[in-house]
Structure 1
């Protein structure tokens, strides 16, 4: 292909169509009239010999070809932008950019609200798209392809093409209905094993056996999981008003003490803490906007650690 014969503005149109999945919104995003974006789409289809985007309801659905092109095109445009906008030219207060991350339920509840407040305060022109992080291996592959800018969560896999930063550690606590807890901050091992348990399992299984079950087995005990829930936010509300007990991340639990009417209680045995990590690709070092964003994540977590 003769690169000189290709209008590189078509790649900007492709990026907008991929993110918006709608011709009119994509046109508004890049400052084009709707007919001009439709014309760009026709030229893109001819350039890549593929339909790229198909009508689906009120929007458009990318084809397999478009999905395969999305990462390389996005990365190429980011490289061009980084060359044209060196460090001293990046101003978060006036920058316009879309950043896409994938986070676990934990990140959605604990970190994302802090991050949104920081962005609205310091970089109101930066748009943040938050995707669910349910399959860590698949999310890492998307990060490597440039379809995501960062991953935030626990138990994330390693990659030689990505960089990992430890944000903080999280410990486990127990929660019970506030009325049944009667103000106590402790729970005996026997009571813990005897109570019916509510369990969060994002994979949809029963979550057994786990480190908690292994710890109980050392004492010759076994718990009964009376309820398994697919979303961590549902756990405190399932516990409230019942005899259930649940074991969950402390920072999540404390967000629901008043809203759901639960009490946070120290577990009757020590449960190993887990790390919350930030993972990004090595290309972030050449992108001033991404570097600023990653620093913003670090600043948010410093406040959480405090």
Structure 2
């Protein structure tokens, strides 16, 4: 098959179906009627000799052949999009752009205060929406342009993505300021004798640290388990519980909650935090501006 045999618009429909999995949503995004989208899919099926998408109760599910095509088609369309819009510019001082960033609750606590303070000065009409990296299909959402950037430890973002390392996270112990453990250097025996607040952060790199601590002997005495980091400052402030947290999060929580940071007595791995963006938006001026700003503010 030669490229002149394929209408480029059919590939645009294919790319949108990979992201949305619903004919109605694709029609809405492209400003087409549903019959036009269905017709485009029928033409593409005939050209490629494959069903491409199968109707299920969960929406249109891609065939293995469609999955194989997806990354190449998305990358090619992204390069074309960048090429034809190469002259476009982004003026942060006048823009009313709404950016979406995938991050964890730790990311919101650590990144957003400084980012929003900077935006207030240089881009007063730009707004930010955050989404949980585990709450959406991040790969598809970023490919479709629904999420502009993502921050964290995200091994699923490989083919078709660029990344930039921001920093490495080490882990520390966080306790209230006058906790008995602050009176001398924290030893491993003291750590395991204490009662703990554990954060089960599924789908993030922080789960690796919990696995190491849970496999240790003796084991932690976990008195309280929570699914996120948002409330731990309030909890630690009024208890003798100990929490194992990334040190950059600890730095943000020390002053507001009158807490103390202690070096962790257990040898734990450092976790690299990266900034990710899809290759389709590598040369997009707005995407470039925001990711360069995050690097400027937060990269080591």
The alignment's TM-score, normalised by the length of structure 2, stands at 0.64
User: How many angstroms does 1:22 deviate by?
Assistant: 1.8
Classify 1:245/1:126 alpha carbon distance in 2 versus 1 (closer, same or farther; 3 Å): closer
User: How many angstroms does 1:11 deviate by?
Assistant: 0.7
2:210 corresponding residue in structure 1: 207
2:262 corresponding residue in structure 1: 267
The alignment's TM-score, normalised by the length of structure 1, stands at 0.63
2:246 corresponding residue in structure 1: 249
1:196 corresponding residue in structure 2: 195
* Structure 1 contact 103–131 (Cα < 8 Å) conserved: yes
Q: Distance in 1 between matches of 2:231 and 2:252?
A: 12
Q: Distance in 2 between matches of 1:18 and 1:99?
A: 22
Name the stretch that deviates more: 159-168 or 186-195: 159-168
2:165 corresponding residue in structure 1: 166
Per-residue CA distance 1:92-132 (angstroms, 9 max, x = gap): 7799x9999875664465447877996xx589699987643
Q: SS of the residue aligned with 1:288?
A: coil
Per-residue CA distance 1:77-97 (angstroms, 9 max, x = gap): 0111122122x32437799x9
Answering whether residue 295 of structure 2 is matched by residue 297 of structure 1, we say no
Q: Distance in 2 between matches of 1:38 and 1:125?
A: 35
Q: SS of the residue aligned with 2:262?
A: coil
1:4 corresponding residue in structure 2: 4
1:81 corresponding residue in structure 2: 81
1:233 corresponding residue in structure 2: 229
Per-residue CA distance 1:127-161 (angstroms, 9 max, x = gap): 9876439xxxxx9xx79xx7998763359699899
User: How many angstroms does 1:12 deviate by?
Assistant: 0.7
2:274 corresponding residue in structure 1: 277
1:288 corresponding residue in structure 2: 283
Number of aligned residues? 277
User: How many angstroms does 1:241 deviate by?
Assistant: 5.5
Extract unaligned runs of 5+ from structure 1. 134-138
* Structure 2 contact 182–262 (Cα < 8 Å) conserved: yes
Identify the match of residue 134 of structure 2 among 132, 135, 157.
132
* Structure 1 contact 92–122 (Cα < 8 Å) conserved: no
1:136 corresponding residue in structure 2: none
